[in-house]
Structure 1
């Protein structure tokens, strides 16, 4: 009896130890350590970087900005969840309070609160904040939507798009003004493009935004070349299927079929992988299996299928 009780206690302790790996630590009594902006900052910069030290066990952060204060809110400016410890945002002149807390799936920390006052300033001292698209994105469709945040004092916004780094402003892909906070462009040819935005009014212009780039690509990768096993080879399980790497391929789709070369071998196929090999460990002795591979690039374009090869399990 005593032996059984001891075994039960050991089992319970092991179970508790195993469960502890899945228990999310509480962050309820912690507070965020804010780095910037400084508390009670007075500035004429409309674009502010909200920055704090990371909090252990926090999966994301809730940032809120109101005007003028949380105990007398006249305007909710921002309420967002972010995963990083830094957030850039452009605001109008005015008095603000802002706060941030850490959150995870089961708890939230205390808010840390700061105040901020932004004074009106010349438009030429400011810059437009781009929102979409992010820099370096690949597009396989020609329609691209550009968006940015409102900048106080602007009457219109000038959007420039180029594929030559703005070396010749008289010969750009796009150079337009709009009073909207976005513009939809249809690209006509593949390539790498740069884009930027500035605010304008009747007397002055803002600084240009940061320059972002995008890649328009509608051409799929080349045909994949299969390596091993050779066609109709007799092989033992597990079977290592390999192919040559393509320079512009981001991932590969491998399809494995039954002997009719059309029916997927199982629900596992087709399978997406990033390597240039796949281990097939199924089937019976004497069974014939077929396979082929195609590549996808960063824009999501699919290349042509490789040849279909078969192998027989021995």
Structure 2
């Protein structure tokens, strides 16, 4: 009898076990090398809890924690229990950090950590309430989610109290968290509009903040816009075939090329074979049009053009003629 007959050889399993053991040893060694700081507390010296300040720029300063390699500082508005906005989340190796705020209520928290341990958070609430600071801007036009083909695009906003100038920020893409800046400029007060920045067709967000010697406001809620100056392609009629006789009053077509905004179609149907007497004229979003109530045993003609959401228009399709002969009495 072979003494190894019932022995299962699994080199892969042995390797996995070895890796797990090695990882556990590394973690254990790391814990032994790092100082346990879980019972320590970060002492925050500035800003003190409950601070009311007219200074927009605040310096966070705390005592070093022995054994800590870094600190995690977070600031929200107005509090972590009722958070409306995450203002700051950063990791720092030093024991101070400077940041510029705007008038509002803020709560900060900070903890120390190393490769194996971390302390609990230390909290403080502070208020930036300068009456001399610039106020948040209220945007005017373009409206949110607007689509335009205007080459003379104008961005405007209402004047903000205490402002000496405005910062206009336009970013690429429809996402408000986009980081791709397409255009940024400063406008001197009392001017409150920006005319025709050189923007190519596409989707953007835009916003404005007010500034003065004290500091600057929060940016206004960003608005989305789409610039589309390219006309869609002319529709191609699928049916009816020219000069055809049809039993159902139905027309179908397909759109031409379009790289811009959504398309609707303008269709005109004439009640004769000379295209002189207009029978129907309507704008539809489908590419099939069915009609009941038309007189049977008569010639009709029609044409179609595409119109996008920015009001760009294609050319008209060639006029198509057809003879309508209803298939049922109800369609006559």
How does the TM-score come out when normalised to structure 2?
A: 0.50
- With over 3 angstroms needed to count, the CA separation of the structure-2 counterparts of 1:185 and 1:261, relative to structure 1, is farther
Conservation of the 8 A alpha-carbon contact between 2:147 and 2:228:
yes
Deviations along 1:40-83, one digit per CA (max 9) or x if unpaired, are xxxx9xxxxxxxxxxxxxxxxxxxxxxxxxxxxxxxxxxxxxxx
Q: Does the aligned pair in 2 maintain the 1:229–1:240 contact within 8 Å?
A: yes
For the structure 1 residues 305 and 190, does the alpha-carbon distance in structure 2 shift closer, same or farther, using more than 3 Å as the test?
same
1:297 maps to what in 2?
A: 308
Q: Distance in 2 between matches of 1:142 and 1:135?
A: 18
For 2:165 and 2:197, how far apart are their aligned partners in 1? 23
Matched with 1:243 is 253
In structure 2, the partner of 1:123 is 133
Q: How far has the Cα of 1:193 moved from its partner?
A: 2.6
Unpaired runs of 5+ residues, structure 1, are: 1-43, 45-118
| Cα offset, 1:168, TM superposition | 6.2
User: What's the CA shift for 1:198?
Assistant: 0.9
CA drift of 1:176 comes to: 2.7
- Counterpart of 1:263 in structure 2 is 276
**1:207-218 paired onto structure 2 within 5 Å:** 207-218=218-229
Q: Deviations over 1:169-222 (max 9, x none)?
A: 6xx434131313631422543222332111111231112222222111111112
Q: Distance in 2 between matches of 1:187 and 1:254?
A: 36
Aligned length: 190
1:221–1:249 Cα contact (<8 Å) kept: no
1:157 maps to 166
The 2-side partners of 1:178 and 1:144 are apart by 19
CA distance in 2, matches of 1:239, 1:168: 51
User: Within 5 Å, which residues of 2 pair with 1:1-314?
Assistant: 121=131, 123=133, 126-163=135-172, 167=179, 172-180=182-190, 182-188=192-198, 189-236=200-247, 238-244=248-254, 248-266=261-279, 268-269=280-281, 271-280=282-291, 281-285=293-297, 287-314=298-325
Could you tell me whether the CA contact under 8 Å between 2:235 and 2:317 is conserved in 1? yes
Other structure's SS at 2:208 match = strand
Considering only aligned residues, what root-mean-square deviation do their CA atoms show, in Å? 2.9
Unaligned runs of 5+ in 2: 1-53, 55-128, 326-332
Query: Match of 2:100?
Result: none
Structure ID, larger Rg? 2
> Counterpart of 1:203 in 2: which secondary structure?
coil
Structure 1 contact 128–199 (Cα < 8 Å) conserved = yes
The Cα offsets for residues 77-123 of structure 1, whole Å up to 9 and x where unpaired, read as xxxxxxxxxxxxxxxxxxxxxxxxxxxxxxxxxxxxxxxxxx86363
Note closer, same or farther for the CA distance 1:220–1:147 as it changes in structure 2 (3 Å cut): same
TM-score by length of structure 1 reads: 0.52
CA contact (8 A) 1:158 1:178 kept: no
Measured at CA, do residues 153 and 249 of structure 1 come closer, stay the same or move farther in structure 2, by a change above 3 Å?
closer
Residue pair 1:231, 1:311 contacting (<8 A) in 2 also: yes
Deviation at 1:260, TM superposition (A): 4.6
